[in-house]
Amino acid sequence: MKEILSGNEAIARGAYEAGVKVACAYPGTPSTEILENTIRYQEIDSSWATNEKVALEVGIGASFVGARSLVTMKHVGVNVAADPLFTLSYTGVNGGLLLICADDPELHSSQNEQDSRNYAKFAKIPMLEPADSQECLEFTKLAYEISERHDTPVMLRTTTRISHSKSVVTLGERVAAVAEPKLARNAAKFVMLPGNARGRHYVVEDRITTLSKEGCSMAINRMELRDKKIGVITAGISYQHVREALPEASVLKLGMVFPLPFDLIREFASKVDKLYVVEELDAFIEDQVKAIGIPVTGKEIISLCGELTPGRVRKAFGLPENAQGTVEKLPGRPPNMCPGCPHRGVFYTLKQLNAYVSGDIGCYTLGFMPPLSAMDTCVCMGASIGMATGASKVLSPEERKKVVAVIGDSTFLHTGINGLMDMVYNKGAATVIILDNRITAMTGRQENPGSGHTLMSEPTNAIDFPMLCQAIGVKNIRTINPLDLDECQRVISEEMERPETSVIITDKPCVLIKKEGVFTPGKPLAVAEDSCIGCRACLKIGCPAIEWVPTSGKKGQAKIDPLLCNGCDVCRQLCKFSAIQEAK
C-alpha cells in the first residue's frame, strides 16, 4: 500500500514497522509530528518527556531491557540530551535505539543553526540522513538493524524540509520477530565506572572503523555516474537540490554521513574530473574528505549559513539562479501572539514598568516584537531564571528591582525549575513570572506535566505550580489573572520592590486549547465610531484583531475584526473614552 506522508509521518511509520515499543520526546519544531503520529499505533507506548535528557533516558531504559525504542528532538534538544548520549555510545544497547535529531537550517523556528552531524562525530555514533519520505521510513528500519548488529545507538538527522515535505511512501508490515523485553544484568557493559568504561572505549573505536568499511557496500551510499566532468558528494535534502540544479552531474549520495565510507569516496573521486561537496551548514563532509588528501571544493562556493535551494546551488556553480524565471516574493508577515493571548497583558505591563525582561523560549518570546518590545534576552530553554539571578547579583539595588524573568509553564518544567532552585538557594533577588497557559503552546499545544493529560490522552496528575514553588523554598508566591491590567500592574510592581526571590503565576489557558471547559471565549468587542478619537492606545498591545482604518477629516480609527476577537477585554481596559464595547 502507498500513502503520501511527510518525513515525520514516515519516521513514525518506520518505527512501527521496525517493532518499536517505546517512543519518547520533548516537542520541538521540526520534529514534533513524529510522536504525534506514533500514537496512531497502539503497539507503541508514546509519551512527552519533561525534557530531551529525560526522553533519551526513557529510551535507554527500554533499550537496556531489550525493547526497541525511539527518541526524537530538535537540534538544540540534543544539547540537553548530550550527557546520557555520550555515555550511551560506550554502553551500547540491548534493544535497538534510534535518536532522531531534526536540524533547522535557515532558523525557521529556532534560536541557533547548529549542525547535529557534529554530535555524531563527537560521540562516535553512526548517523543516517534521508533525502525524502520513503528514505525516512526505510532508514528508520535500517537504523534498528545497525543498532543491534553493532551494539550502538544510531542517530538519524532530518532537516525542516525533509521533516515537513510530503512524498509517496510504500508501506510495509510490522516485524514480528523482535524479542520480548526482559530484565538482563550485565554490569560490565551497563555500569560505567572508570574500570568498565576504559574497555568500552576500545569497542567504540573499533565499531566506527568497522562501520566505515561496511558503509562502502551499503545500498544507502551509492554512486550515480553521469557527466564525469563534475562529481558532487552530497546527502539529505541537498541531494534533491543537486539533482534539480545539476541534472547531468555525477553524484555520490551518502545515506550514512558518519562514519563516512572513505574507500567509496576515493573511488568516486577517481572517476570524476572535478570534485565538489554540496551540504548545508558546516563543512562536515568536506573537511573529512580533505583530511584524507582528496582535493575538493565546497564552502568556497557554498555558504556556511542558511539552507540551500536549487537556485542557490545553481548560483554557486555559476549558473542562472532560477532557470524557470523569477517568482514574485510574497509580502512578509511578522510573527505575533494570537488574538486574546493571555501573555499580552503581562508584556504590556512589563513595558509600562520599564522592566528588564530576562526571556525564555516559547510563544511569549514574541513579547520581543513591536509594539510590545518587552523582552531583553532570550538564549535557551530555561535560561531566563538563571540569567536573572546573575544580573541581580551585580546590579545596584535600584537597578536590580527592574529584573524580571519570564518563563512558560512547559519551559519551567523543562529546565527552568533548576534555575529557580538556584535563585532561592543562592539568595538571588529577582521576580519570576511563570506564564501558565496549561499547555506546550509554541510547538502545537502538546500536553505537559502541568496539563493533566498524557500524550496518549490519559488523565494524569497535574503539577500544582504554587505548591511546587513553595517546596523549592519560595516565600513570596502570587497568582494573577493576566487579562486584568490593573491587577497585573499592582502585583508585578509590588513584587519588583521585594529584595528577595518572588514568583508570580499567571492563571489563564491558551486561547487555542480546544478541550471542553479549559478555555471559554468572551463576546467579541467592537469600536464605537462616534466615540473613538484615534488616540491609538489600543494599538499598543499589538493584537491582530485590531486594525487601523483611515477616516475622512480624522487621523483614523481602530476597528476590531469580530472573526478574530475572542473578548479578552485587554483593549477595552486601555481605552479611556469607552469607545470599545461588546459587539451588538
User: DSSP secondary structure string, 56-99?
Assistant: HHHHHHHHHTT--EEEEEEHHHHHHHHHHHHHHHHH--SS-EEE
Nearest-Å Rg of the Cα atoms of the chain is 27
Residue-wise pLDDT for 353-371, tens only, equals 999 999 999 888 998 999 9
Q: How open is the CA angle 427-433-439, to the nearest 5 degrees?
A: 130
25 forms bridges with which residues in the sheet?
48, 72
C-alpha cell at 35: 510522536
Residue-wise pLDDT for 214-270, tens only, equals 999 999 999 999 999 999 999 999 999 999 999 999 999 999 999 999 999 999 999
- Spatial distance between the Cα atoms of 145 and 130, rounded to a whole number of angstroms: 16
| pLDDT band at 517; cut points 50, 70, 90 | low
Residue with cell 477629516: 553
Residue-wise pLDDT for 137-165, tens only, equals 999 999 999 999 999 999 999 999 999 99
| Residues that constitute the known binding site for [4Fe-4S] cluster | 532, 535, 538, 543, 565, 568, 571, 575
Residue with cell 545507538: 153
163, 258, 475 from 13: Cα distances, Å: 13, 24, 49
- Spatial distance between the Cα atoms of 116 and 104, rounded to a whole number of angstroms: 10
- Spatial distance between the Cα atoms of 506 and 348, rounded to a whole number of angstroms: 14
H helical segments located in 165-283: 187-190, 194-215, 237-245, 262-271
Question: Helix or strand or coil: residue 459?
Answer: strand
Would you state the pLDDT for residue 438? Answer: 84
- Spatial distance between the Cα atoms of 102 and 159, rounded to a whole number of angstroms: 5
Residue-wise pLDDT for 381-395, tens only, equals 999 999 999 999 999
Would you state the pLDDT for residue 220? Answer: 97
C-alpha cell at 145: 538493524
**Range with the lowest mean pLDDT among 7-21, 93-107, 503-517, 556-570?**
503-517
Instruction: Tell me how far apart the 2 most distant CA atoms of the chain are, in Å.
Output: 85
Contact 28, 73 (CB under 8 A): yes
- Spatial distance between the Cα atoms of 460 and 304, rounded to a whole number of angstroms: 45
Residue-wise pLDDT for 175-200, tens only, equals 876 778 889 889 999 999 999 999 99
Residue-wise pLDDT for 411-448, tens only, equals 999 999 999 999 999 999 999 999 998 888 888 888 88
Would you state the pLDDT for residue 98? Answer: 98
- Spatial distance between the Cα atoms of 474 and 428, rounded to a whole number of angstroms: 11
Residues listed for the chain: 584
Residue type, 508: K
Give mean pLDDT, residues 523-545.
89
| pLDDT band at 324; cut points 50, 70, 90 | low
Residue-wise pLDDT for 280-316, tens only, equals 999 999 999 999 999 999 999 999 999 999 999 999 9
Please, what are the domains in the chain?
2-215 (3.40.50.970), 222-316 (3.40.50.920), 344-507 (3.40.50.970), 525-582 (3.30.70.20)
H helical segments located in 332-396: 344-352, 383-394
Side-chain-facing half-sphere of 51: CA atoms under 13 Å: 22
CA proximity to 93, closest of 181, 220, 174: 181
What is the average pLDDT value for the chain, to the nearest integer?
93
- Spatial distance between the Cα atoms of 156 and 90, rounded to a whole number of angstroms: 18
- Spatial distance between the Cα atoms of 202 and 67, rounded to a whole number of angstroms: 25
Q: How far apart are the first and last CA of the chain?
A: 54
pTM score: 0.91
210, 283, 338 from 335: Cα distances, Å: 48, 32, 9
| Residues that constitute the known binding site | 532, 535, 538, 543, 565, 568, 571, 575
Would you state the pLDDT for residue 482? Answer: 94
Would you state the pLDDT for residue 159? Answer: 97
Would you state the pLDDT for residue 553? Answer: 66
C-alpha cell at 23: 517512543
Question: Helix or strand or coil: residue 442?
Answer: coil
Residue type, 411: T
C-alpha cell at 174: 510490522
Residue type, 154: V
Instruction: Write out the E strands in 171-291.
Output: 222-224, 227-235, 249-254, 256-258, 274-278
| pLDDT band at 321; cut points 50, 70, 90 | confident
